[in-house]
Structure 1
Amino acid sequence: MRVLQIILALIAVLVVLGDAYVRLAPLPSDRFHRQTAPQAAGDYPSKGGIVAVRDVSDPKAQMVALDKIIRASARTRVLNGSVATGHISYVTRSALWGFPDITNLYVGKDTQAGSGTLTISGHLVFGAFDLGVNAARIKGWLDEAGL
Structure 2
Amino acid sequence: MRFLSILALLIVVAAVGLGLWVRLAPSDPEVWNQMPETASKGARLSIDAGPDGLARLSAVAAATPRTSVLAGSVEAGMMTWVTRSKVMGFPDYTTAQQQGDVLTLWARQRFGEKDFGVNAARLAQWQSGLAQPQR
- CA shift, 1:123, in A, is 0.3
- Residue 78 of structure 2 is matched in structure 1 by 87
Task: Give the secondary structure class of the aligned counterpart of 2:96.
Answer: strand
Q: Which runs of 5+ in 1 are unaligned?
A: 39-43, 111-115
In the alignment, structure 1 residue 77 sits paired with structure 2 residue 68? yes
1:101-120 equivalence runs, <5 A: 101-108=92-99, 110=100, 116-120=101-105
Q: CA RMSD in A?
A: 1.8
Q: What TM-score, normalized by structure 2, do the two folds share?
A: 0.90
Do residues 25 (structure 1) and 10 (structure 2) align? no
Q: Following TM superposition, by how much is the alpha carbon of 1:130 offset from its aligned partner in structure 2, in angstroms? A: 0.5
1:96 match: 87
1:50 corresponds to which of 28, 43, 47: 43
Distance 2:65 2:20 in 1: 20
Residue 125, structure 1, aligned to residue 118, structure 2: no
Q: Percent identity?
A: 36
- Indicate yes or no: 2:129 matched with 1:144: yes
Q: Which letter maps to 2:115? A: D
Counterpart-to-counterpart distance in 1, 2:94 and 2:129: 16
SS in 2 for 1:140: helix
Give the 3-state SS of the residue equivalent to 1:145 in structure 2: helix
| Cα shift readout 1:14-54 (whole Å, capped 9, x = no counterpart) | 0000011111111111101101228xxxxx8x6x4101001
Q: Which runs of 5+ in 2 are unaligned?
A: none
Q: Secondary structure at the match of 2:131?
A: coil
Range that drifts further, 1-10 or 64-73 = 1-10
Structure 1 match to 2:14 = 14
